[in-house]
Structure 1
């Protein structure tokens, strides 16, 4: 089994100028060294080339660019993924996760999306106050914007946990679609029940703003009243434990807004919790993780650190 790592430094869903992106920041603080300690092969595919988001673009153009980038991400995952592999994407705004959903659906998996977030991301063009596509990702995935793309997942496969900031029209759409929407307080009160209701295959999409901004300042969309750091880490581990984790996305980490690396450490802790839980229940794999780094034009050698494979479209 292989852990595939892909940086997706997108601002298409939330147009802004970012001095430094999350994939670069997390790699620089030892993420790949940690992954190399797991008893799995690790391939770092580098960062996918994504154009910058532009506020000057009309909303339909912003959405079209998000969908095009997601299709490229989907195609990349379809080329490299094998049964039993784990797809791990570092975002980027939350439009990062559209391509992951599309890829898993195209690969034929029946799975739940556990969307750990402060927001529902279920807006349409008509209901969105901002017009930013990172707040439309699940509406796109379920087919509510048919001019942009067909739906690839049913609403009953969505589990939105940690939600505490919904736009009025978005709230109505979620209610009409009967999507599971749960606040942090409800997660605390109903945790065992919610976990028991998950399907065997899961995709965990973790948005940094699911955690209270007092402990996770490095995000563009902070909302008070979120999970504590420890709650978030424990929750992610419990989601993965006893299930088949198909993919993990960590999104909406903005290093330039962090304070004292608090948010970077949170991201590391969430990733560690998810992958250690995944490793703990995976079948014992023979051999050691590959430990060399490779360029696009060289062969990886037998080793002790993750394979480096540059992204190619």
Structure 2
């Protein structure tokens, strides 16, 4: 056992009794006896294991296992593993759509995959506006304010968001209790951008390695968060992975600086897909691309671009988009600027002639039909824009549409 061990500074004692400890990062709580309390207080400053052993000589035989358990629960940490201590998902209140937390015990009771919302409150990929970092909690507060509930026990009338029988799959997800909100990936202002993206990748990979039991639904954040998520999915699924990308932009933009390679450089919300191709992504299907910014964009062999004006015509013809293979794994990333600006104000990159709400809803329903979806995200929602209430309404509607399509 490594000698330097310290109490996690995010550990707090219950205000009413000192026999309960809480990890404010993970949300985990434990009841403990006097010796554990004494150990936690003793290790507020890092100590060598030999010093710990000397101090607690009366429980010398039990001490290694006790410390091992507290390390596993992140109540203690080794100095060499301090980064792991803050690489975690932190439960949040209020919960999105009043959904419960997915515990290991709860997961074992499910017979079908759980869909787990995870906030990614990171906006550093857009240097002109970082307010997307506030969106996961802003959306939670909105659904709490209007009592929008998708937990198993609540009443939810889907006729309020669509026509009769349109949201049967969503209703079944709710009825079966398969929807959960596990909180936000933890970030701190002292962390570098490189480390923040590293944390997203590491947490995402752990989830994808357990994808037989759950489907992660990430709430961003700007579009730069999608690269570490997709990169981790590629490490798990390899060439079987395809990306379905709803966006006004290709997000393959670069500059002369892109040609300069060095360790301190990171990606941004306008080139995340380029980074995905560099990481090994072999196929991305892009829907809604349009605008002057794309006049000089040339697709590569890994891109299939469905230009917005062409898709509008395909939608009129009730095209089913059956050309997308059904034997692949799909990650879905949804940028809200795919919608026309008259329907969505909460973006920093509006592009005219986008999809109507009805066109985009049809697109989601048909493109995702019968696809093996391994994960999703919605991104590029900015809290400092006008008509935030309308932004929340549109975001909620399309989260419902996505849930209804993937189930």
Q: Tell me the distance in 1 between the aligned counterparts of 2:398 and 2:225.
A: 17
Q: Which structure 2 segments of 5+ residues have no match?
A: 1-112, 153-173, 259-265
With 133-142 and 81-90 compared, the bigger mean Cα shift is at: 81-90
Q: Do the aligned partners of residues 232 and 38 (structure 1) sit closer, same or farther apart at CA in structure 2, a change above 3 Å counting?
A: farther
The within-5 A match list for 1:22-61 is 22-30=135-143, 33-34=149-150, 36=152, 37-50=174-187
Q: Which structure 1 segments of 5+ residues have no match?
A: 54-63, 144-150, 280-313
Q: Do the aligned partners of residues 273 and 35 (structure 1) sit closer, same or farther apart at CA in structure 2, a change above 3 Å counting?
A: farther
2:59 aligns with: none
2:305 aligns with: 181
Q: How many residues align?
A: 256
Deviation at 1:260, TM superposition (A): 5.7
1:259 aligns with: 387
Residue pair 1:119, 1:163 contacting (<8 A) in 2 also = yes
Instruction: Give the secondary structure class of the aligned counterpart of 1:139.
Output: helix
Q: Tell me the distance in 2 between the aligned counterparts of 1:127 and 1:153.
A: 23
Q: Do the aligned partners of residues 52 and 119 (structure 1) sit closer, same or farther apart at CA in structure 2, a change above 3 Å counting?
A: farther
Mapped pair 1:108 → 2:237: yes
Instruction: Give the secondary structure class of the aligned counterpart of 1:46.
Output: strand
Q: Tell me the distance in 2 between the aligned counterparts of 1:135 and 1:19.
A: 14
Larger radius of gyration between Structure 1 and Structure 2: 2
2:126 aligns with: 14
Q: Do the aligned partners of residues 19 and 111 (structure 1) sit closer, same or farther apart at CA in structure 2, a change above 3 Å counting?
A: closer
Q: Deviations over 1:221-253 (max 9, x none)?
A: 111110011211221122222212211110001
2:12 aligns with: none
Q: 2:366 aligns with which of 238, 243, 258?
A: 238
Q: Tell me the distance in 2 between the aligned counterparts of 1:261 and 1:92.
A: 18
* Structure 2 length-normalised TM: 0.57
Residue pair 1:89, 1:249 contacting (<8 A) in 2 also = yes
Q: Tell me the distance in 1 between the aligned counterparts of 2:213 and 2:305.
A: 29
The within-5 A match list for 1:143-158 is 143=278, 151-154=279-282, 157-158=283-284
1:310 aligns with: none
Mapped pair 1:141 → 2:276: yes
CA RMSD between the two structures: 2.9
Deviation at 1:99, TM superposition (A): 2.2
2:378 aligns with: 250
By relative contact order (CA 8 Å, sep 6+), the higher-ranking structure is: 1
The within-5 A match list for 1:73-84 is 73-80=200-207, 81-84=210-213
* Structure 1 length-normalised TM: 0.72
Q: Tell me the distance in 2 between the aligned counterparts of 1:70 and 1:152.
A: 18
1:70 aligns with: 197
Mapped pair 1:204 → 2:338: no
Q: Do the aligned partners of residues 79 and 40 (structure 1) sit closer, same or farther apart at CA in structure 2, a change above 3 Å counting?
A: farther
Mapped pair 1:276 → 2:407: no
Q: Do the aligned partners of residues 52 and 91 (structure 1) sit closer, same or farther apart at CA in structure 2, a change above 3 Å counting?
A: farther
1:125 aligns with: 255
Residue pair 1:12, 1:52 contacting (<8 A) in 2 also = no
Mapped pair 1:5 → 2:117: yes
